Structure 1
Amino acid sequence: MAGTTYTLGFSPCPNDTFIFDALVNGKIDTHGISFDVALEDVQTLNEWAINGKLDISKISYGVLPLVAEKYQVLQSGGALGKGVGPLLIAKDAGIRVEDIDTLRIAIPGVNTTAHILFSLAFPEAKQKQFLVFHQVEDAVLSGRADAGVIIHENRFTYQDKGLHRLMDLGEYWEKHTHAPIPLGGIVVHNRIDRARAAEIDALIKKSVEYAFAEYPHLSEYVQQHAQEMNPKVMRQHIDLYVNDYSLWLGEDGKKAVRQLCEVHHRLYPQQPCTSPDIFLSPE
């Protein structure tokens, strides 16, 4: 099995390329394991995970209840933290939060954590437009949406485009759950045996450790895939989304993921996390 190749999907955003660079580009010893990489936006990866397409994939934790029977969550490579949540923004600074339920809202994907956090804050909002994350700002600027939920590097650039923050949805989550915000995780398909999955998990951890050891240097791999090419913004992105939880989820991180699943189940009672253990545990 040493020479096995596995399919691996993650986003081209700086936090993901930072995490996986060493793993997929031969900068650490992978013990003969190789990876066929697909770089896609997270909503595409979510949809693929629902269909069980990839062996290993980044997903939004918001889609976990829909894939928990096929995949388990790895300990390493994910994005959790405090102060890292999506922002609700608008072109018109005069929009009141009290009016959101009646407005057109652009959301970065139906199965994303951003959608779950928005729905937690605004369960009665009905006029949602589901877009790829980098299309949200344009929808708001053009008037096709009254407000939008932004994630990733857009958090650092929205003000430059004349947009205004209405609400920090991550702060809302933290206030109501007292838990870190579970944005995205790495999952492994059940068709891979547990021992091999645990080995891959450990390799991802080594890849993150390698990236941290080289930081603040930005590798060519990170720079060539970043939507926002300003090195300052790339580092802000990495600083915000890559942390100790990316090295190892731990009990605190697991608790936060379980809480998100509980919120998801309250919003969508027909979609519970039915798997007895959604986290990979070595044999």
Structure 2
Amino acid sequence: MQEIIPLTLAHSPDSDDAFMFWALASRRVIPDGIDFRHVLADIQTLNNAAIEGLYDVSAISVHAYPYVAANYILLNMGASVGDGYGPRVVARENISQSELNGRVVGIPGGLTTAALVLKLAFPGVRTTEMSFDHVTDAVSNGEVDAGVLIHEGQITFEQMGLHLVTDLGKWWKDTTGLPLPLGANVVRKSLGEDIIEKAASAIRDSIQAGLENREAALRYAAGFGRELKAEEVDKFVGMYVNDYTLDWGETGREAVRELLGRAKASGIVDSTGEINFTG
């Protein structure tokens, strides 16, 4: 009888991640020789957990990769990439991009890719960290001058009367010509080649199954959509579960290297780490 290796699989409780892992969570996809225990946490918690090496497979921000590269390698699948769109900077007042430098901007965690791109685009901003789900309230009540929205807030901020200052994914595309690599899946190097390949294969199959059974996967994802309407869940999943999610591809991998290279050149990270992909 084949030995089943238990692995922890950590990801965020957001509709796009839920869509990706629907088939694994519902046992539509049965991994070969491994069994995943799902752990749900917000992205900044996942970044910190990866630095501590807590989980076998984890979603992280691309910004966090240099801090975990010694122990983890990037998987080729499971990426969250915005091609011409991404985290949005919003304000209570209708201010211009040129007015952003010098302002206090709420960010959803210092190691989020959103925070990194904000600093690349607007090096003069002052930032304050907070939970991602508090950013809209902080902007609305005047606690901060502006805020960076990730997850579903990107498509619902107007319902709270907030104004778009800039889309960081569009800024990145205009600046580099590349898509913006926001999130990635990493796997612990010490698991060894065989287990890593089995984990990668299971995750790829889960994403593919979600894309092939979109309605069922969307119904599951809607349970993680923070009271979003069905069409909003559909829109958000469509934004971040795309061709890059199945495989970074050469363009996606180039985008990761470009982003981390710019972070190093700007002094935001000390090193890019060894940027390798597997699976």
Q: TM-score range by the shorter chain?
A: over 0.9
Q: Does 1:89 align with 2:90?
A: yes
Structure 1 spans left out of the alignment, 5+ residues: none
Q: Calculate percent identity across the aligned residue pairs.
A: 33
Q: How many residues align?
A: 278
3-state SS, counterpart of residue 258 of structure 1? helix
Distance in 2 between the 1:166 and 1:278 partners? Answer: 35
Distance 1:269 1:11, change over 3 A: closer
Contact 2:31 2:198 in 1 (8 A): no
Q: Does 1:192 align with 2:182?
A: no
Aligned to 2:41: 40
Contact 1:4 1:32 in 2 (8 A): yes
3-state SS, counterpart of residue 148 of structure 1? strand
Contact 2:11 2:17 in 1 (8 A): yes
Shift of 1:270: 5.4
CA RMSD of aligned residues (A): 1.6
Aligned to 1:255: 254
TM-score normalised to the size of structure 1?
0.93
3-state SS, counterpart of residue 215 of structure 2? coil
Distance in 1 between the 2:61 and 2:20 partners? Answer: 16
Aligned to 1:208: 207
Aligned to 1:280: 278
3-state SS, counterpart of residue 271 of structure 1? coil
Distance in 2 between the 1:163 and 1:44 partners? Answer: 27
Shift of 1:218: 4.2
Distance in 2 between the 1:248 and 1:130 partners? Answer: 31
How far does the alpha carbon of each residue in 1:80-133 deviate from its partner, in whole angstroms, 9 at most, with x for none?
13133111110101x2322222211001110011011101111122x2111121
Distance 1:234 1:280, change over 3 A: same
Aligned to 1:98: 98
TM-score normalised to the size of structure 2?
0.95
Aligned to 2:15: 14
Contact 2:82 2:169 in 1 (8 A): no
3-state SS, counterpart of residue 191 of structure 2? coil
Distance in 2 between the 1:138 and 1:10 partners? Answer: 24
Aligned to 1:28: 29
Contact 2:101 2:122 in 1 (8 A): yes
Distance 1:2 1:226, change over 3 A: farther
3-state SS, counterpart of residue 159 of structure 1? helix
Distance in 1 between the 2:85 and 2:35 partners? Answer: 31
